């Protein structure tokens, strides 16, 4: 078992629709985010696991979130979110206030600077706002590699350095913290305060009694962050059974949540629910199964994910799928494609938009009773979006399909906001936005159709 869940997320709040990590959190309304933030962390801690509210504070973009060096070797510091006191309190601090009131165990300080000072060594936000004004009694951990100093960070309110290993840059705590205490730079009282803050949630949630051991397979999984399992330095006590299957009936809950989270933006002529169509055509590179494996953790951009349903965004929030049901797979099964219904499909966007496309011409008989078009918009940690339009020439795909077929249903999997220039096209009868539905992407769409 893991003692700490690195979530939920209220930073980014997501007031810029281009934010690469907006998909990890909640709406840009601070009050609504505060309520959802609180309910989520309470459910985590009700299960005996510590919740970590992140990323505190003003973490609103991925671009230049960490310092870089230019060609001359000059350091360019991380972006600074400059905010006046009123804006900070009424927008960005509010969800964290609600988390503190709910008893959150930990808060993760962010990569960015706030008003020119790094988030993990900002005494105003950590000591002043979080611990004093809000009365937070848990501990402040850094984001991975977000610690920029030792004594300064500790005295400014940071309690834990993560990951704390050389693989994430300079190590500022560990032995250096011992030295700082011995030379008086950090007081014994402050060290005791750090220890109390870290250990209090551990005992409060009874993690000292009968807590599940760490699955031995975690060593290989977490080694994805390193070059090999041998570099995985954490000293955990592992259980005797590896690859424990703890999924239970999670799939049913995921399907239900994904379906209930899907938003119907348009439905004319009573198109939905569908009435037993006998000829179905499925289009778009978002409709099929994964082609590059079960993880989209790697922060290497949209280029790798041209084909396959976009069930999650990229980066550390993506997770590792044990399986995914694609829209095409679910549609074929639900329609009874072996007996009752003809299901045809073209999943290559380039083939769809090709002039005089022979691939579309082969969709026969024509026109089908209904066309289902799946579009997607990639978003990931470490990179902000550059456009609010869908990816992979999706607008051209829509133009081509709607020029040939009338009863067309559009579905998007995306990071919150998209511009839909074709929304009022008369041949588009229905528009659904399904966000990032996780492993039951196809099944949840069936619930709606």
**pTM of model > 0.85:** yes
Write down which residue in 163, 191, 212 finishes a domain.
212
Whether 143 and 121 have beta carbons less than 8 Å apart is answered as no
Give the pLDDT confidence score for residue 319 in this predicted structure. 79
* Residue 300 pLDDT > 60: no
Query: What pLDDT does residue 283 have?
Result: 98
| Same structural domain, 196 and 311 | no
Domain boundary residue among 164, 187, 212? Answer: 212
Specify the pLDDT at position 296.
65
The Cα–Cα gap between 432 and 449 comes to 10
Kindly tell me if the per-residue pLDDT of 228 is higher than 70.
Answer: no
232 pLDDT higher than 80: no
* 122 domain-assigned: yes
- How, if at all, do strands 279-283 and 342-346 pair? parallel
Rounded to 10 deg, the angle between the 188-204 and 175-182 helix axes is 130
230, part of any domain: no
pLDDT band at 335 (very low <50, low <70, confident <90, very high): very high
pLDDT at 301 over 70: no
Quick: pLDDT tens for 68-124. Answer: 999 999 999 999 999 999 999 999 999 999 999 999 999 999 999 999 999 999 999
Last residue of one domain, picked from the residues 212, 238, 260? 212
Q: Do 331 and 433 share a domain, yes or no? A: yes
Q: Residue 288 above 60 pLDDT?
A: yes
pLDDT of residue 222: 72
Closest CA to 284 of 424, 414, 426, 380: 414
Same domain? For 369 and 319 the reply is: yes
Q: Does 176 lie in the same domain as 283?
A: no
Same domain, 127 and 21: yes
Burial of 75 (0-12, 13-18, 19+ CB in 10 A): exposed
Residue 401 and residue 328 in one domain? yes
**pLDDT tens per residue across span 150-208:** 999 999 999 999 988 777 788 999 999 999 999 999 999 999 999 999 999 999 999 99
Task: Mark whether 317 and 207 lie in a shared domain.
Answer: no
Total domains in the chain come to: 2
What pLDDT score was predicted for residue 291? 86
- Domain with 90 in it: what CATH number? 3.20.20.300
Helices 327-335 + 441-448 axis angle, to 10: 50
Residue 220 lies in a domain: no
Checking if the pLDDT of 299 tops 80, the result is: no
Average pLDDT, the chain: 93
CATH assignment at residue 400? 3.40.50.1700
Q: Is the pLDDT of residue 287 over 90?
A: yes
Q: Is 231 a domain residue? A: no
In a domain, 269, yes or no: yes
- Both 385 and 280 in one domain: the answer is yes
Report the pLDDT averaged over residues 381-394.
Answer: 93
Task: Look at residue 246 in the predicted model and tell me its pLDDT.
Answer: 87
User: Confidence band (pLDDT; 50, 70, 90) for 147?
Assistant: very high
Residue 221 domain-assigned (yes or no):
no
In sequence order, which residues have a C-beta less than 8 Å from that of residue 413 and are 6 or more positions away?
286, 309, 310, 311, 374, 375, 376, 377, 434, 435, 436, 437, 441
The answer to whether residue 228 sits within a structural domain is no
The answer to whether residues 259 and 359 belong to one domain is yes
- The residues carrying an active-site annotation are 143
pLDDT at 302 over 60: no
**pLDDT-based confidence at 224, cuts 50/70/90?**
low
Residue 56: per-residue pLDDT: 98
Percent of the chain with pLDDT over 90: 81
In this predicted model, what pLDDT tens digit does every residue of 244-285 receive, in sequence order? 998 999 999 999 999 999 999 999 989 999 999 999 999 999
* 314 and 197 in a common domain: no
Quick one: pLDDT band at residue 233, thresholds 50, 70, 90?
Answer: low
Bridge pairing between strands 139-142 and 117-118: unpaired
Tell me if residue 179 falls in helix, strand or coil.
Answer: helix
Is the same domain home to 50 and 110? yes
Write out the residue range of the structural domain in which residue 309 sits.
249-448
The pLDDT of residue 97: 98
Structure tokens at 337: 């494609």
Tokens for 272, please give them. Answer: 């939905």
Q: Is residue 118 part of a domain?
A: yes
Is residue 273 located within the same domain as residue 174? no
The pLDDT of 352-372, averaged and rounded, is: 95
């Amino acid at each position: 078992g893991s003692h700490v869940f690195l979530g939920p997320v209220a930073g980014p709040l997501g007031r810029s629709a281009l934010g690469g990590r907006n998909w990890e959190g909640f709406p840009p309304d601070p009050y609504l985010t505060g309520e959802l933030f609180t309910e989520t962390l309470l459910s985590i801690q009700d299960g005996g696991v510590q919740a970590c509210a992140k990323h505190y504070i003003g973490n609103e973009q991925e671009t230049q979130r960490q310092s870089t060096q230019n060609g001359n070797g000059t350091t360019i510091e991380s972006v600074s979110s400059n905010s006046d006191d009123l804006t900070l309190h009424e927008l960005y601090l509010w969800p964290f206030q609600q988390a503190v009131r709910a008893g959150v165990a930990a808060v993760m300080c962010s990569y960015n600077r706030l008003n020119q000072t790094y988030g993990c060594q900002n005494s105003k936000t950590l000591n002043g706002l979080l611990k004093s004004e809000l009365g937070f009694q848990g501990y402040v951990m850094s984001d991975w590699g977000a610690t920029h100093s030792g004594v300064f960070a500790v005295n400014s309110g940071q309690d834990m350095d993560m990951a704390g290993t050389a693989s994430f840059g300079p190590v500022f705590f560990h032995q250096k913290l011992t030295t700082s205490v011995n030379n008086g730079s950090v007081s014994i009282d402050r060290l005791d305060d750090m220890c109390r803050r870290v250990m209090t949630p551990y005992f409060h949630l009874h993690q000292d009694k009968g807590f599940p051991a760490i699955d031995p397979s975690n060593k290989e999984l977490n080694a994805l962050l390193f070059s090999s399992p041998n570099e995985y330095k954490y000293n955990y006590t592992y259980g005797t059974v590896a690859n424990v299957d703890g999924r239970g009936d999670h799939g049913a809950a995921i399907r239900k949540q994904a379906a209930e989270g899907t938003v119907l933006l348009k439905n004319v002529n009573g198109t939905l629910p569908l009435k037993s169509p006998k000829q179905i055509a499925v289009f778009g590179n978002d409709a099929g199964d994964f082609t590059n494996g079960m993880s989209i953790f790697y922060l290497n951009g949209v280029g790798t994910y041209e084909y396959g349903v976009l069930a999650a965004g990229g980066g550390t929030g993506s997770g590792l799928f044990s399986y995914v049901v694609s829209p095409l797979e679910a549609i074929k099964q639900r329609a009874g494609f072996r007996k009752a219904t003809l299901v045809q499909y073209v999943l290559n966007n380039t083939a769809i938009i090709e002039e005089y496309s022979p691939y579309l011409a082969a969709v026969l008989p024509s026109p089908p009773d209904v066309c289902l078009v799946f579009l997607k918009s990639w978003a990931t940690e470490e990179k902000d979006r550059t456009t609010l339009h869908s990816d992979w020439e999706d607008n051209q795909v829509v133009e081509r399909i709607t020029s040939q077929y009338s009863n067309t249903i559009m579905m998007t999997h995306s990071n919150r906001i998209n511009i839909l220039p074709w929304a009022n096209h008369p041949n588009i009868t229905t528009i659904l936005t399904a966000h990032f539905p996780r492993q039951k992407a196809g099944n949840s769409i069936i619930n709606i159709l």
